[in-house]
Amino acid sequence: MNPFEAFVPRAGEKRLGDVFQTQTPGQGQFVFVGVPEDIGVRANMGRPGAAATPPAVFAALANFPVNDWFTGDQVGWAWVEVADLQAKATKTTDLAELRALTAEVDQRVQAVLEPLFAAGKVPILVGGGHNNAYPLLVSASKTHGVVHALNLDPHPDVRALEGRHSGNGFSYAHEAKALDRYAVLGLSEHGVNAASLDYLNRQEGCTYETFESWAIRGEQSMDQARERLLSFVQNRPFGLEVCADGIASCPSSAMSHIGWTWLDVAETAYRAGQTGQCAYLHLAEASVGLAEAQAQPALAKSVAYSALQFIRGCQNLPW
């Protein structure tokens, strides 16, 4: 699939769609990878809707202008074909079947990502469910060796190894020895189950800062929490994971009106890029399929904007 076939150029100006439309998949240093599925969300008994997000985000990206601040000459795109698996997932509620399908998604995502990492590129994966953290980490580790992860998320996604789904990508990555240090920024004290909290507390190399520590009790600022966790993971290549469940009022599987903002996401993405050690960005669980029709373009644009700030951070290193 070429997600830019329908892009219509506009006379007298250049937009990212003009860049993408001339490319073959995998070009550029920063490669947007679309994974249009919510199979892992279904397998985790969540609300589907994330499958509609990658096409909408790619359409939003295409309309961003190319200018002196962002020339677009380092970006590219790729697409993971999972339409057949998604179709099967919509016809069943059997968890074993859905988890087997999620494992097939893992394989297809890895097949696209591994050559990108091997070529020294930086994937920006637009999901899709948070299950795609696992193939991202495994693929990154095959090039970079064991990697770290910083997850901006109210949930740690370290549930039991009970078959693949969106709630156990990081525990599976630990089991595969692809993930070393793991930090959760914004862990919800009222959203993490006891088993997952125990996992974080006993697993060597895991740490977290809770949302309530800054947003409710004022024990620190979000900036301070973010900087501590960035320092924790940036001694080697790491992935930045962003789950939309923590963004206030963002349509997602576990939507809440309490959380951080898209501006916080964009700033976190920028700061992670500035470390010079961020191997990939993963934007997961934003669910265009759960948004009101009139709100869908703004949601897609917010995801795309956050990704562009990550690229800007990578290009604006502080040294």
Length of the chain counted residue by residue:
319
The Cα–Cα gap between 34 and 47 comes to 20
Structure tokens at 6: 């329908």
Overall pTM > 0.95: yes
Confidence at 6, pLDDT banded by 50, 70, 90? confident
Confidence at 314, pLDDT banded by 50, 70, 90? very high
- The b-or-e profile of 6-20 (16+ CB within 10 A means b, else e) is ebeeeeeeebbbbbb
Mean per-residue pLDDT, 88-104: 98
Domain count, the chain: 1
Decide if 119 is inside a domain: yes
The Cα–Cα gap between 256 and 244 comes to 10
pLDDT at 318: 84
- The b-or-e profile of 215-232 (16+ CB within 10 A means b, else e) is eeeeeeebeebbeebbeb
> Per-residue pLDDT for 1 more than 90?
no
What is the residue range of 48's domain?
Answer: 16-315
| Cα distances (angstroms) measured from residue 181 to each of 48, 159, 204, 238, 288 | 30, 17, 8, 9, 31
Decide if 2 is inside a domain: no
Mean per-residue pLDDT, 254-277: 98
Confidence at 91, pLDDT banded by 50, 70, 90? very high
pLDDT at 85: 98
The DSSP string of 225-248 is HHHHHHHHHTTS-EEEEEEGGGBT
CATH number at residue 146: 3.40.800.10
Percent of the chain with pLDDT over 70: 100
Decide if 11 is inside a domain: no
Decide if 158 is inside a domain: yes
pLDDT at 64: 97
| pLDDT, the chain, mean | 97
Mean per-residue pLDDT, 10-31: 95
Q: Report the amino acid identity of residue 264.
A: D
Structure tokens at 299: 């949601």
262 HSE (CA, 13 A, CB side) = 17
pLDDT at 165: 98
Decide if 5 is inside a domain: no
**Residues 188-226 pLDDT 10s:** 999 999 999 999 999 999 999 999 999 999 999 999 999
Decide if 10 is inside a domain: no
Decide if 4 is inside a domain: no
